[in-house]
Structure 1
């Protein structure tokens, strides 16, 4: 006979009965209506069987009547499980309290990030958000709907065209889109546009002022290109002038380059973190690496789409070593010229155009390549020069 699910919930006991009259005991159990199952004969006049917990306490008179004895081998069922849990009630209460704390922490606002603001101070945005109930340690369920928060913040923050509010876990992100305002024209003193270096003019366009040079004309540094004079008055000269400029670079490139690479050896440390506090759990011991690089990786607990402010942090210490890379003379030349080009673009703008380049001198000595390179660059050569005139002119 197999027990029902209800019988298992009520509890059962596995007993071992021994005696000379085991068959008589089975008959007595049947007369009394006591259910038994998993009956199995054992050596030395023993028998194993399962009985319900309620019937277990009715066995003693039958055992005494038949001259048998019993011992309990195993207990199973809900009553015994509850008894074991009750003995560990402190652990159960602690675990339930831990779950409750985690749920409470995940229901709070922990961080507020403001993005997109350039002219509006972050403090003003946070103050307006606090008035609408957005602040650290606020209950998330007490906050208004995001579309309503967005409308209220847009109304309270002058100079914004739209303010968006979004939530990712316990973080609130406030995205500010500032209203576009026409640029205020700053007051300038009358000025000329002069050449910033010796050059050959390739293009000149005068929007305001009097052009003083022409295309293909050679000019000197400091020479007036567009005069700040219009009619009988002084103006702020404005225009675009491009010209061919010569840049000479002395380049020095080593033929052996040092570089750090990973060896493959590593040491891993594990931390349990709560917010900004981390407690090391694994990976104790000193680091045996002479050189290493540290990489950290966070694995937060998640609930649905929320990232909780608690989780596991892995810290990998990767051993590095320094190797030497040998360059050919051709590779060293290309590397040196590339560095010079990057310098030109950084100083004179990415709109500059390299017209030509010529190596004037080249040699290899003491493990290095030395070069003198002349670049012809078409670039903007205009710069302002204030007009100083006597009062009353």
Structure 2
């Protein structure tokens, strides 16, 4: 049956509506004449809906006249009709093809060169030099020799310690780490660079000290990444220095969010009252000027006056606005709950990605029948700098 439906998706089929007193007879005649109908739905005693392939449709029309039934085409579906429509709109199809080819061609070119460095003067100089070295808007990214450009930057700028170039869409991003100033007396204190969290090392650059890990090593929080203890050789002891460097690692995060299928929302009635609230050493007492009839309400602090300071009893008087509301239950449904869960996880991604570059993210959603809610689970993979300084004990 599945194969049959797939075959008709390619060959084309129509959704028809048959009307008349003898629709049942039409079905019998179709069966006798080997006309196959599927997804038959009876709308009323005189009306039904069904699907039939293109070739059988014309046979069915002839039969319908014999049994005095009227056939209406509700919808044409399948590859057959799609191709027929495209044949009639050759210019449109050609336009789409040209557009796709043009977009593919344009995406292979660099249109923006972005230099990331915390020095505006240095940034302007490098941007100017990159133009001369061939890294500029309008050039095909596959013709750019990244090693050549990196070497040029390092040779021409003595105040730069590290350069990386990578492409993101039509942008060429040049990451630059300038050499830091000579350490102050406080910064001269010997220290290690240790892992601030678990992860797999992607890249390590030891500017001062000795690297203790290499790319693809798994490290745990607290592991020494760059040591401030430098071994001077056999019998010469060790030298302690303030370790400096960058350690980028692949870090994993998991977040979850639960969205109930039935949400309780507040619907304000419009009834409001202002009351006084006395606070004495953390204890509260409400002063009502008439009977309080609100069953459910929300408090908003309008004004606070300190009657006695903390040394003399800490007495405060608050003017509070009371707003009445009713609780209304709203059925979201699975799709809407899933949508809200997805939006919540996207906010988590936005927040977490501030720490580094997203390498991979995956969202999964499932219905929890016990709690009557949709649960969304996010697995996020970031590449971030996990190094932090720790004094050598």
Q: TM-score over 0.5 for the alignment?
A: no
Larger radius of gyration: 1
* Range into which the TM-score falls when normalised by the shorter chain: 0.3 to 0.5
Q: TM-score, with normalisation over the residues of structure 2?
A: 0.37
Q: TM-score, with normalisation over the residues of structure 1?
A: 0.37
